[in-house]
């Protein structure tokens, strides 16, 4: 059957071409790939259940099979956010790649921990993110943290070392709930300064 593509990992893997689209199926409900990468020469995936491995899958020369080019683990938390389309990049060997698997200098790798620790990540626009760690910090991230709202002073130096403006908003952050409509409104603002002011006002209004 010429429309069938086999993926050489286990007998549970297969994919099917429908016109110009690649329909990818793996009979393991704990394995996921980023949908927008389907059909590309390189696909990144991960398992959300032990052993939590990440996979770099590569098309064969005849384009009819995918094979595991590499298995890795250390970047699991970042890869899972990439696959789940929370962020538009993944990290491998200390380098940042976009969904087209092109290396890009869009994130300071010294501050990748912000995304690793994050409980929620929202893409504002381009490479600007709103990153929240439950009951710990909320930051606007553009290459590195630009402004951070913190529960207490104990983690302030994590952000001041990046040159970020910091504010202590203990009681507010403990009760913080993100509104996706508000995140969309941030995308309409031109500068990080405008976004920071809008976010600060939003936090203050949440206690009224």
**Cα atoms found within 13 Å of the Cα of residue 117, Cβ hemisphere only:** 15
* Helix (H/G/I), strand (E/B), else coil: 37: helix
Structural contact between residues 144 and 169, judged by C-beta atoms closer than 8 angstroms: no
The Cα–Cα gap between 53 and 16 comes to: 24
Instruction: Find the mean pLDDT for residues 123-134.
Output: 94
Q: What is the per-residue pLDDT for 64? A: 65
Same domain (yes/no): 9, 89: yes
Segments forming the whole domain that contains residue 168: 107-208
Same domain (yes/no): 93, 118: no
Phi, psi (5° rounding) for residue 154? Answer: -65, -25
Phi, psi (5° rounding) for residue 128? Answer: -105, 125
Structural contact between residues 36 and 44, judged by C-beta atoms closer than 8 angstroms: no
Domain-ending residue, one of 106, 136, 163: 106
**Local confidence band at 16 (pLDDT 50, 70, 90 cut-offs):** low
The Cα–Cα gap between 76 and 82 comes to: 10
Compute how many other C-beta atoms are within 10 angstroms of the C-beta atom of residue 144.
18
Same domain (yes/no): 97, 158: no
Q: What is the per-residue pLDDT for 30? A: 76
Same domain (yes/no): 68, 134: no
Instruction: Find the mean pLDDT for residues 44-61.
Output: 82
Q: Is the pLDDT of residue 106 over 90?
A: yes
* Helix (H/G/I), strand (E/B), else coil: 155: helix
Q: Per-residue pLDDT tens for 78-101?
A: 999 999 999 999 998 889 999 999
**Cα Rg of the chain (Å, integer):** 20
Same domain (yes/no): 3, 98: yes
Mean pLDDT value across the chain:
83
Same domain (yes/no): 123, 204: yes
Same domain (yes/no): 100, 116: no
């Amino acid at each position: 059957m010429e429309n069938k593509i086999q993926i050489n990992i286990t007998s549970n893997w297969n994919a099917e071409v429908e016109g110009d689209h690649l329909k990818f199926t793996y009979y393991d409900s704990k394995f996921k790939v980023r949908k927008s990468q389907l059909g590309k020469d390189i696909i990144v995936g991960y398992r959300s259940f032990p052993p939590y491995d990440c996979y770099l899958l590569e098309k064969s020369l005849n384009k009819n099979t995918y094979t595991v080019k590499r298995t890795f683990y250390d970047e699991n938390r970042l890869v899972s956010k990439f696959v789940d389309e929370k962020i538009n990049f993944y990290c491998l060997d200390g380098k940042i790649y976009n969904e087209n698997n092109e290396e890009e200098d869009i994130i300071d790798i010294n501050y990748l921990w912000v995304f690793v620790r994050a409980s929620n990540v929202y893409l504002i626009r381009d490479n600007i993110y709103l990153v929240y760690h439950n009951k710990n910090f909320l930051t606007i991230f553009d290459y590195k943290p630009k402004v951070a709202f913190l529960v207490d002073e104990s983690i302030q130096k994590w952000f001041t070392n990046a040159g970020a403006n910091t504010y202590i908003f203990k009681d507010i952050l403990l009760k913080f709930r993100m509104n996706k409509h508000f995140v969309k409104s941030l995308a309409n603002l031109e500068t990080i300064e405008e976004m920071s002011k809008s976010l600060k006002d939003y936090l203050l209004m949440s206690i009224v």
